[in-house]
Structure 1
Amino acid sequence: MMLIKVLVAGILFVAPSVATAQWAPAEQIKTYTVSGSTGIELYSQIGEKGPLVGDQMRTIAHTDFKLLWSRKYEPQPDGSCKLVSARPSLTLIYTLPKAGKLPDRLKAKWQVFSDGVRRHELHHGEMIVEMVKEIETVSVGLSVPDDPKCAKIRTDLTAKLGEISRRNRERHRDYDRIEMNNGGNVHQLILNLVNER
């Protein structure tokens, strides 16, 4: 049987933000259709049609995001520069499998599998939102001395955001590792789908 790893959010860092007020991410759902008369046939179709990520590896589902920022830097009277606001525009993009016509005996099994995969991906989305909130917290109020043209602050901020992004990628990898290991939630979902009972 083909082993398909569920990979994590594509870490695509985009650019600069104005903050403080409440914000909420937008969501975009993409689907690809699989069909078959057995769980193994459905899983095999996932292996053929699932989203390609990373090193062009097929996955069951995938969470990606687009992140843009509106930031306001202000030179201060003492020659420093302060980032006074940073507002994100975040779109979470989920790619999920969708079943075509299924025999009645397979519908319930597929629903359990599909719901579980969706929950898994939504958790990736929650982690991305947490990352963006951390970026917002680190950004707003950041100040750099002797930076009247607000140039050094951008370098400092980029370094801080790089570290946040690195930790975020690790979180997603660790989560997938747990979920895909023997006995993990996604591993169980796969077994329940493909085992004929």
Structure 2
Amino acid sequence: MKLYYSPGACSLSPHIALHETGLPFTLEKVDTKTRTTETGADFTAVNPRGYVPALQLDSGEVLTEGAAIVQYIADLKPEAEIAPKAGTLARARLQEELNFIASELHKGFTPLFNQALSDSARSEAKERVARRLGDVENKLADGRSYLLGERFSVADGYLFAVANWAKHTGVALDPWPKLRAFMTRMSDRPTVKQAMQAEGLV
């Protein structure tokens, strides 16, 4: 398999998942502005939507959308236990968290990367993100180490990748001690360190 990624983008999430499973894979970096890969290929030929992540399977088929990719990776190696069994309520809870991160947090952060955003629009965007980070804090406030309890899941990798954007967008995590502790816990995880190092983030 080959993961197309951009350093620090949401593609960090499936990158972590691949390390968690130990499945063999290669990486190809994508310049999301020019939509070309590090080998000079046209990335839109891989993913016509032009954004990462994209996972090229050994069959040649390409899977896109991070939430779908991480579940596919997890199901390739169920013994890694990074996603509950398909068809269970626990799996639906995982999908609930993945959808929340994708639709509320991920998309909430997106405007903050726009340098042309007005001060008022930036302030509003930060307030929306803060409300959603508060939701995450509440989820972690019942003593759980991870979103689904005491076991890491692919939702945690996605949350880490997105919440890591806070420091690049001027969103301080100071109000959320449980989330800060989660980020530290994730940063210390060997598979996260592997992915971060491979992307040149540490």
Say yes or no: TM over 0.5: no
Based on CA coordinates, which of the two structures has the bigger radius of gyration? 1
Normalised to the residue count of structure 2, the TM-score between the two structures is 0.28
What is the TM-score normalised by the length of structure 1?
Answer: 0.28
Higher relative contact order (CA 8 A, sep 6+): 1
Higher helix share: 2
